[in-house]
Structure 1
Amino acid sequence: MQIGVFAKTFPGSEPAGVLAAVRDAGFAVTQFNLACAGLPSTPDAVPDDVIRAIAAASDASGVALVALSGTYNMAHPDNAVRDDGLRRLKVVIEAAAKLSTPLVTLCTGTRNRDDQWAHHPDNADPSAWADMAREMEKALQLADRHGVDLGIEPEQANIVTSAQDAMQLIAKMGSKRLRIVLDPANLFEQADAAQARAIVAAAIETTAGHVAMAHAKDRFAHGCVATAGQGVVDFADFIARLKATGFDGPLVTHGLSAEEAPGVARFLKGLL
């Protein structure tokens, strides 16, 4: 299991400086965002010189790129917005292939027009799932063409809210390219330590064999997001259960400051 961090945790728009900061904080891998190369997260194009700069920075720092962010609102109520998001996702998938980055992460979306991470009551309408599933089918065609996997993350505010939802979507899509990013803090909103442990354990059991990457974010009992190790998530149990399923992929932390990053790296390494 490799310990990593979101590249966007660190300031800067030059890949060399950002990935050096990732390394210096104690991380071996990163989930990269094209914003760290001076572009929008999902740009209209990624010039070849930017690809070369990212690859050179990865080589120089020794930090491997295990995922690239390609999130857009796959359930936005406006079809034109979804079409534009898919067009930009194609650019990200092509960049991932050029960088030999195996995974592009997605957001299964929300009916909220203004924030792809915000809940909307219409998320429960079957039409929201149907729109998202159609987007996912198109996205998987692009991924298969370029030999890249797609990672979806169960998230309370999105269409796919649970491990069960994620497995249902994987079954419907029928593609080995569709994988799961498992973030324990996104599996619940409010829970005490015992409740959180039970929810996370059940999710690991449900998704066993389908997890491409785990996230290390925490949550306080009252619901606010916390830095890993400061909330109710039992990370020792989380890691042990992942290992028991045979998972040996990246564990990537986020939701923390650059100043907190070295301490979180030490915390997570101590649990391996």
Structure 2
Amino acid sequence: MQVGVFAKTFPGSEPDGVLAAVRDAGFAVTQFNLACAGLPSMPDDVPDEAIGAIGTAAKAAGVGLIALSGTYNMAHPDNRIRDDGLRRLAVVIETTARLSIPLVTLCTGTRNPDDQWAHHPDNADPSAWADMAREMAKALQLAERHGVDLGIEPEQANIVTSADDAVRLIAEMGSKRLRIVLDPANLFERASADEARAIVAAAVERTAGHVSLAHAKDRFADGRFATAGQGIVDFPDFIARLKAAGFDGPLVTHGLSAEEAPGVARFLKGLV
């Protein structure tokens, strides 16, 4: 299990500087974002020079690129905005393939028109799931064409909120290209340490065989997010259960400052 970090944890828009910072903080791999190459996260186009610069920087730093962010609101109430997001996702997927990155991370979306990570009451309406699923089917056609996987993450504010939702969507799509990104802190909002441990354990068991990437973010009992190791997520238990379930992929931390990164790298590497 390799320990990594979101590249956006570190400031900068030049991939050589950002990826050197990833390495110097003690991480072997990173989930990359095109903003770290001076582009929009979801661009209209990625120039050949940018792809070359990212690949060269990763090689020079000795950092593996294990995922690329391709998030847009797949359940936005305005289908024109969804269409524009899918168009940009096609660019990200092609870029991912050209960089030999195996996974594009997605957002299953929300009916909130202003923030793709914010809850909306209409998320529970069957039409929200239907719109997201239609969008996902189109995204999977692009992924199949370019030979990359797509990762969905159960997230309380989005359409896919739980391990059960994620497995349901994979079954509906019928594609081996659809995978799960499992973040223990996104599986609950407010919980005791014992409740959180039980929720996370059940999710690891439910998603076994479908997880391509694990995240390491934490929560306090009152619902606020925390740096890994500072909240109520039992990371030794989470990692042990992942291993027992056969997961040997990357464990990527986020939701922390650049200054905290070396300490979190040491903490996680001590567990894996």
TM-score class, shorter: over 0.9
Q: Which whole-Å CA distance do the structure 2 matches of 1:199 and 1:214 have between them?
A: 15
Structure 1 gap segments, 5+ residues each: none
Pairwise CA distance, 1:46 = 0.3
Pairwise CA distance, 1:26 = 0.1
| Equivalent position amino acid for 2:63 in 1 | V
**What's 1:112 paired with?**
112
Q: Which whole-Å CA distance do the structure 2 matches of 1:222 and 1:109 have between them?
A: 24
Pairwise CA distance, 1:40 = 0.4
**What's 1:158 paired with?**
158
| Equivalent position amino acid for 1:27 in 2 | F
**What's 1:179 paired with?**
179
Q: TM-score, normalised by structure 2?
A: 1.00
Pairwise CA distance, 1:111 = 0.1
Secondary structure at 2:243's aligned position in 1?
Answer: helix
Q: Which whole-Å CA distance do the structure 1 matches of 2:233 and 2:225 have between them?
A: 11
**What's 2:4 paired with?**
4
Q: Map 1:198-209 to 2 at 5 A.
A: 198-209=198-209
Secondary structure at 2:247's aligned position in 1?
Answer: coil
| Equivalent position amino acid for 1:45 in 2 | D
Secondary structure at 1:141's aligned position in 2?
Answer: helix
Instruction: Compute the RMSD of aligned alpha carbons.
Output: 0.2
**What's 1:45 paired with?**
45
**Residues 37-90 of structure 1: per-residue CA shift (max 9 Å, x gap):** 000000000000000000000000000000000000000000000000000000
| Equivalent position amino acid for 1:270 in 2 | G
Q: Map 1:246-257 to 2 at 5 A.
A: 246-257=246-257
Secondary structure at 1:73's aligned position in 2?
Answer: coil
Q: Map 1:106-145 to 2 at 5 A.
A: 106-145=106-145
Q: TM-score, normalised by structure 1?
A: 1.00
**Residues 162-203 of structure 1: per-residue CA shift (max 9 Å, x gap):** 000000000000000000000000000001110000000000
| Equivalent position amino acid for 1:82 in 2 | R
Q: Which whole-Å CA distance do the structure 1 matches of 2:150 and 2:30 have between them?
A: 16
Pairwise CA distance, 1:158 = 0.1
Q: Which whole-Å CA distance do the structure 2 matches of 1:76 and 1:251 have between them?
A: 29
**Residues 109-149 of structure 1: per-residue CA shift (max 9 Å, x gap):** 00000000000000000000000000000000000000000
Q: Which whole-Å CA distance do the structure 1 matches of 2:207 and 2:16 have between them?
A: 35
Q: Map 1:217-232 to 2 at 5 A.
A: 217-232=217-232
Secondary structure at 2:116's aligned position in 1?
Answer: coil
Q: Map 1:205-216 to 2 at 5 A.
A: 205-216=205-216
Task: Indicate the percent of aligned positions where both proteins have the same amino acid.
Answer: 84
Structure 2 gap segments, 5+ residues each: none
**What's 1:102 paired with?**
102
Q: Which whole-Å CA distance do the structure 2 matches of 1:8 and 1:69 have between them?
A: 10
